[in-house]
Every structure is written in C-alpha cells, then in structure tokens.
C-alpha cells in the first residue's frame, strides 16, 4: 500500500464513467429541487400561528402581573449588587431607564456614593473571593 492511501477506500486514481456517476448521484435541476423543498402554508395555518403568537405576546407583555423576579430586577443596581462602583452604577441606572423604562434615582445614587466611599473596598462581596456564593432566591419554608 502506498503512503497516503486510505486502506478502506483504496486508491482514488480510478476514473468513474459518467453513466455510473449518474447512477450513484442522481442529478436534479435546481428548479426541481426548489419545487420539492418549497412549502406554502395554508391560510388557516397562517391565521392560527399569528393568533397564537399574538395571544402569547399579549399575555406576557401586557396582562401578566409582576412577580418576585420583576420586583428584584426593578430595584436599583446598587441594591442588587452591593459594592458596585458608583460610576458603573450610574451607567447601569441610565441604561435601565433607556431600555426598560425604570425610574432614575439620583438621590439614592448620591447616598450610595457616600456609603461606597466611606467603606473599605476589601469588604465588598466581589472583592472577597473566599466567601461562598449565597443563594439570592431561597424558597420560603411553609410551616
């Protein structure tokens, strides 16, 4: 066996005749392939899909009541992530206002700046790598 030959297939020097190639790989025209692949939904299917997607969006964007996660997200960033740099907190607050329509709390940000600069940075959670990660959302025990 020569170097570079596949032991299963053998040499690739063999010429395949056109008739045997057509028997192995049937040649189709591009238009025929498109006609086979084309799928046109019926009017009923279109109406059902549009109604389903519309009702889904109506419920989740308008009718749904806020839950715990929504209330957690709407809190200011310095409450969600204590120890964040005040400049980053200001940028995040402005982005939350632009993207999600949350209120801008500049007075709270000023109070946070005063607190932030009066603290030792090594006490912040993200700077203390040895602390175990706390679970924010724990299930309340019923009893």
Tell me the β-bridge partners of 6: 10
Q: Please provide the average confidence, as pLDDT, over all residues in the chain.
A: 75
Which position has the higher pLDDT, 36 or 55?
A: 55
The Cβ of residue 73 has, within 10 Å, a number of other Cβ atoms equal to 13
Task: Give pLDDT tens digits for 46-89.
Answer: 999 999 999 999 998 889 888 888 888 888 888 888 888 899 99
Evaluated on CA atoms 114, 115, 118, 122, the torsion sign reads negative
User: What pLDDT is recorded for position 125?
Assistant: 63
Task: Provide the pLDDT confidence category of residue 27 given band limits of 50, 70 and 90.
Answer: low
Question: 113 near 86, Cβ under 8 Å?
Answer: yes
User: What average pLDDT does the segment 31-54 reach?
Assistant: 82
How many percent of the chain have pLDDT more than 70?
A: 59
Question: Which of 128, 122, 125, 37 lies closest to 79, judged by CA?
Answer: 125
User: What pLDDT is recorded for position 17?
Assistant: 59
């Amino acid at each position: 066996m020569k170097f570079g030959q596949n032991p299963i297939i053998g040499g690739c020097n063999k010429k395949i005749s056109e008739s045997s190639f057509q028997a192995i790989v049937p040649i189709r025209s591009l238009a025929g392939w498109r006609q086979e692949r084309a799928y046109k939904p019926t009017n009923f299917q279109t109406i059902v899909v549009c109604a389903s997607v519309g009702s889904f969006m109506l419920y989740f964007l308008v009718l749904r009541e806020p839950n715990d996660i929504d209330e957690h997200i709407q809190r200011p960033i310095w409450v969600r992530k204590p120890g964040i740099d005040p400049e980053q907190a200001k940028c995040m607050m402005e982005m939350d206002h632009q993207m999600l329509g949350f209120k801008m709390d500049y007075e709270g940000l000023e109070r946070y700046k005063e607190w932030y600069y009066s603290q030792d940075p090594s006490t912040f959670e993200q700077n203390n790598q040895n602390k175990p990660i706390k679970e924010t959302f724990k299930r309340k025990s019923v009893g």
